Chain A
Amino acid sequence: MSHESLEATVDPAKVDAWIAELGSEPSAAVPLLQAIQTEYGYLPRPAMEMVIKNTQINASQLFGVATFYAQFRMNPVGRNMIKVCHGTACHVQGADRINTSLNHALGITDEEEDTAPNGSYTVEDVACIGCCSLAPLMIIGDQTFGNLKGSDAQRHLKKHAREHNEVLPGHAEQEKQKKKNKPGQQTAKA
């Protein structure tokens, strides 16, 4: 599934400003890519091309670096980011279930895909963020949630979605299905 609507429009003046601030020598490659990604959430092609044109960094170095480090991504992201920690402590305490649970709610069914079909959320697996005593944990936007069960992850996601006027495609679909299958039946209180 592609998310063309999520492609960012690159402001050339901004890219120029970053080059002026961070330098144009080869050692500026990582900081420049970090500046671009911080702004757009990923590395838009036009921004990369500007860097290649206006600095001493050539295409092979820039793309080499961009594809080497885990921080950089080449595809657009959803309107909100969710980071799921996969450090050792989180792994042994069920981090995988958080992904299963979030993907379920977001309607992400393809293993290669990390963004909800409606572009609302992107779920990213990250290496250890160093809060191992709160494992397993995830970050939605800038809020961290620890000691999670899969069901807690969904609860926090739903709350976040309500507060940010986002629709969770997976859940909407599921609720619809439920109503169709069992008219009038109530689910027991959680």
Chain B
Amino acid sequence: MSGANLTVTVGEGTCGIAAGAKDIATQLKKRLPDATFRTVGCVGMCHQEVLVEIEDDSASYLWGKVDKKNIIKIVKFHKGEAPAPEEFLVRSTEKGDLAGGQYLSRQTRIALRNVGQLNATNIEQYKERDGYKAISKILSDGLTPEDVIEEVKVANIRGRGGAGFPAATKWAFARGAEGEVKYLVCNGDEGDPGAFMDRSLLEGDPHNVLEGMLIAAYAIGASKGYAYIRAEYPLAVEHFGKAIEDAKAAGLLGDNILGSDFSFDIKIKQGAGAFVCGEETALLASIEGERGMPRIRPPFPAIKGLFGMPTIIQNVETLSNMPWIILNGGEAYANIGTETSNGTKVFALAGAIARGGLVEVPMGMTIRELLEDIGGGSSTKYPLKAVQLGGPSGGCIPASMFDTPIDYESINATGAIMGSGGLVVMDEKSCMVDIAKYFLEFTQLESCGKCTSCRVGTVRMREILTRICDGEGTMEDIDNLETLAEQIKSSSLCGLGQTAPNPVLTTLKYFRDEYIAHVKEQKCPAAVCKGLITHTIIQKDCTGCTLCKKYCPVDCIEGELKKPETWVIDQEVCINCGMCVEVCAPDCILVA
């Protein structure tokens, strides 16, 4: 048997490829030469990469963490030569969800409905899954732009990029605005460190994003569109570019789409690495070839935007929901979620979580349900301490508040924001002052420099945080942080400045004792801040293997082979980088 009855599907999103999916696919082709092979985008179970689904005549098996070793067992099983290596089985027709737990079953996938299910660069497969039916319905049933806006209004979908502004309201503004041309811009400048929702959508189901753009363009009367995609996402750029070509060839893009008088064309603009370009007016400046600096509003882009023309900027995820809303009706969408936050939200779960990846859940689910039922809890031996929501503009929510439902109002009330969907999970080994410092360093580097309070204020906050992390802070520094934070928030022009202090404010609110420990006791409770910790060798556990010495970048560890009692770290030279801890097999280096 060489697999003639088998269909093998390999997930080849960026993370799958990074985990070695291409090698695995090559190996499988060698071992199962007669099987049918398919390539799909990322199904979102990043913690199980490389993922391979193998279907035979009667059942399907989803294998996780496939590598060069277990691939042999898996192939043998499918050839009927060995029992199933169940420890790698994520899900099967017969046994249901195994290693993945409720990872998939607790989700409601609308924006992500096709991601991981189809070959992203094959327009026919998208069409088979009701692709381009929404735009056909609009054009052939004679739905007016006002009808489309009304449907979106009923769905009550709010912008998924972070601000949460109702999409229909924005569209109605642009619809009514005067201009020779109108523009629709798809914002795929996902700059949040720790977020990869837009990447997966653009990579895994680009036609869905494209159809969403068509719907929005039709509603506002736009004839030109831009897809602004980060240059760091080469696969997303490639897949979306292919989607544009194929849609043009199929008469779904260009002049007189599907024989109607609606014409729309899309160009890709690659971002060049500026977080502030996620802000809509800065993004427009960037498309125009300028430095990405925000502009004063009003006039709002819906009235006077790109090249002075009415422009709507909509996030990738928001657009990805549009085809479903048109096909299933705004009401069906509004029925999901809570009263004020309707529909679903995609999150990128990362950090100290057992089952990380991309998930889409109905609004109103609690953080705990998301972390435990779907995410499977902590991935380390330490309990969870907090989640960071909304990236550099968001904040940390402590474990004591994990019962907070995920909707715009409840999340805002904690001091964090919904944000675009980056959700980084932290365990007891994360220092909250260090996290605050990390984000401040980020926003300070990314501040465009237009407003003094943001340009200078973030530098001052960063200096104070660095002092505290080095054990040189004072109690007055903590008060100054709060004063500065309020000033920056109230006197910055754009969202970056207005939200930059959030990570500091939320950690001060919920983890003030950690700041105080750094200042008063000169202690980092999580043992992270390099200025406040020491590394020492516990000689009774040491085996004298010399590995720590080999990797020490400053040559501060000395001792003789197999003589544990001789091993010491020179504290004067040690930079507390932690390399030795990582390589130490008997775990004999004490960090305190």
Name A's B-contacting residues (CB within 8 A): 25-31, 33-34, 57, 61, 64-65, 68-72, 86-89, 91-94, 96-97, 100-101, 103-104, 126-135, 137, 144-146, 149-151, 154, 185-188, 190
Complex contacts, B128 vs chain A, CB 8 Å: none
Complex contacts, B351 vs chain A, CB 8 Å: 88-89, 92-93, 132, 135
> How many angstroms from the CA of A151 to the CA of B577 in the assembled complex?
12
Smallest CB–CB gap between A54 and chain B, Å? Answer: 15
| Cross-chain contact B350 with A135 (CB below 8 angstroms) | yes
| Cross-chain contact B292 with A88 (CB below 8 angstroms) | no
Q: Which residue of A lies closest to B392 (CB)?
A: A88
Contact residue among A88, A128, A144, A187 (Cβ-Cβ distance under 8 Å from B18) = A144
| Cross-chain contact A134 with B18 (CB below 8 angstroms) | yes
Known: A68-B291, A92-B435, A190-B550. A151 touches B579 (CB 8 A): yes
Smallest CB–CB gap between B368 and chain A, Å? Answer: 20
Known: A88-B422, A93-B351, A133-B357. A150 touches B289 (CB 8 A): no
> How many angstroms from the CA of A135 to the CA of B292 in the assembled complex?
29
> How many angstroms from the CA of A94 to the CA of B580 in the assembled complex?
13
Complex contacts, A92 vs chain B, CB 8 Å: 351-352, 424, 426, 430, 435
Contact with A along B556-592 (1 / 0, CB 8 A): 0000011000000000000101110011000000000
> How many angstroms from the CA of A19 to the CA of B88 in the assembled complex?
53
Complex contacts, A126 vs chain B, CB 8 Å: 232
Q: Does B177 make an interface contact (CB < 8 A)? A: no
| Cross-chain contact A134 with B46 (CB below 8 angstroms) | yes
| Cross-chain contact B46 with A188 (CB below 8 angstroms) | no
Known: A100-B577, A130-B199. A94 touches B270 (CB 8 A): no
Q: A101-B579, A127-B275, A132-B196 are in contact. List 16 more A-B contacts (CB 8 A).
A: A27-B289, A72-B272, A88-B438, A89-B424, A92-B351, A92-B424, A97-B578, A97-B582, A100-B577, A128-B193, A132-B350, A132-B424, A133-B46, A150-B577, A188-B562, A190-B547
Complex contacts, B438 vs chain A, CB 8 Å: 88, 91
| Cross-chain contact B553 with A104 (CB below 8 angstroms) | yes
Complex contacts, B288 vs chain A, CB 8 Å: 26-27
| Cross-chain contact B231 with A146 (CB below 8 angstroms) | no
Contact residue among A33, A88, A188 (Cβ-Cβ distance under 8 Å from B193) = A88
> How many angstroms from the CA of A184 to the CA of B42 in the assembled complex?
52
Complex contacts, B352 vs chain A, CB 8 Å: 92
Contact residue among A33, A101, A131 (Cβ-Cβ distance under 8 Å from B14) = A131
Complex contacts, B17 vs chain A, CB 8 Å: 144
Complex contacts, A97 vs chain B, CB 8 Å: 577-579, 582
Name B's A-contacting residues (CB within 8 A): 14-15, 17-19, 46-47, 49, 190-196, 199, 231-233, 269-270, 272-275, 286-292, 348-352, 356-357, 388, 391, 422, 424, 426, 430, 435, 438-439, 448, 544-547, 550-551, 553, 561-562, 575, 577-579, 582-583
Smallest CB–CB gap between A9 and chain B, Å? Answer: 24
Total cross-chain contacts (CB, 8 A):
176
21 contacts between A and B (CB under 8 A): A27-B287, A27-B289, A30-B286, A34-B231, A65-B290, A70-B274, A72-B272, A86-B193, A89-B350, A91-B193, A94-B582, A101-B551, A104-B553, A127-B191, A131-B14, A132-B196, A133-B356, A144-B18, A151-B579, A187-B546, A190-B547
Contact residue among B272, B356, B562, B583 (Cβ-Cβ distance under 8 Å from A34) = B272
| Cross-chain contact A131 with B15 (CB below 8 angstroms) | yes
Complex contacts, A33 vs chain B, CB 8 Å: 272
Q: Which residue of A lies closest to B561 (CB)?
A: A188
Complex contacts, A154 vs chain B, CB 8 Å: 551
Q: Which residue of B lies closest to A32 (CB)?
A: B289
Complex contacts, B424 vs chain A, CB 8 Å: 88-89, 92, 132
> How many angstroms from the CA of A72 to the CA of B292 in the assembled complex?
14
Complex contacts, B357 vs chain A, CB 8 Å: 133
Interface hub of A96, A127, A144, A149 (most chain B Cβ within 10 A)? A127
| Cross-chain contact A94 with B578 (CB below 8 angstroms) | yes
> How many angstroms from the CA of A187 to the CA of B544 in the assembled complex?
11
> How many angstroms from the CA of A83 to the CA of B386 in the assembled complex?
29
Complex contacts, A145 vs chain B, CB 8 Å: 18
Complex contacts, A86 vs chain B, CB 8 Å: 193
* 4 interchain residue pairs of minimum CB distance: A133-B46, A132-B350, A130-B196, A70-B273
Smallest CB–CB gap between B449 and chain A, Å? Answer: 9
| Cross-chain contact A151 with B582 (CB below 8 angstroms) | yes
Complex contacts, A135 vs chain B, CB 8 Å: 350-351
Interface hub of A29, A61, A86, A92 (most chain B Cβ within 10 A)? A92
| Cross-chain contact A133 with B579 (CB below 8 angstroms) | no
| Cross-chain contact A128 with B448 (CB below 8 angstroms) | no
Complex contacts, A30 vs chain B, CB 8 Å: 269-270, 272, 286, 289
| Cross-chain contact B272 with A69 (CB below 8 angstroms) | yes
Q: Which residue of A lies closest to B358 (CB)?
A: A133
| Cross-chain contact B292 with A69 (CB below 8 angstroms) | yes
Complex contacts, A127 vs chain B, CB 8 Å: 191, 193, 232, 273, 275
Contact residue among B422, B544, B582 (Cβ-Cβ distance under 8 Å from A150) = B582
Complex contacts, A27 vs chain B, CB 8 Å: 287-289
> How many angstroms from the CA of A146 to the CA of B551 in the assembled complex?
19
Complex contacts, B231 vs chain A, CB 8 Å: 34, 71
Known: A34-B272, A68-B448, A132-B196. A151 touches B551 (CB 8 A): yes
Smallest CB–CB gap between A80 and chain B, Å? Answer: 18
| Cross-chain contact A133 with B47 (CB below 8 angstroms) | yes
> How many angstroms from the CA of A108 to the CA of B550 in the assembled complex?
17
Complex contacts, A28 vs chain B, CB 8 Å: 289
Complex contacts, B274 vs chain A, CB 8 Å: 68-70
Known: A88-B351, A188-B561. A130 touches B195 (CB 8 A): yes
Complex contacts, B544 vs chain A, CB 8 Å: 188
Complex contacts, A137 vs chain B, CB 8 Å: 18
Smallest CB–CB gap between A59 and chain B, Å? Answer: 14
Contact residue among A57, A64, A100, A186 (Cβ-Cβ distance under 8 Å from B579) = A100
Contact residue among B199, B426, B553 (Cβ-Cβ distance under 8 Å from A101) = B553
Q: Which residue of B lies closest to A177 (CB)?
A: B555
Smallest CB–CB gap between B504 and chain A, Å? Answer: 15
| Cross-chain contact B289 with A57 (CB below 8 angstroms) | yes
| Cross-chain contact B194 with A31 (CB below 8 angstroms) | no
| Cross-chain contact B551 with A150 (CB below 8 angstroms) | yes
Q: Which residue of B lies closest to A25 (CB)?
A: B289
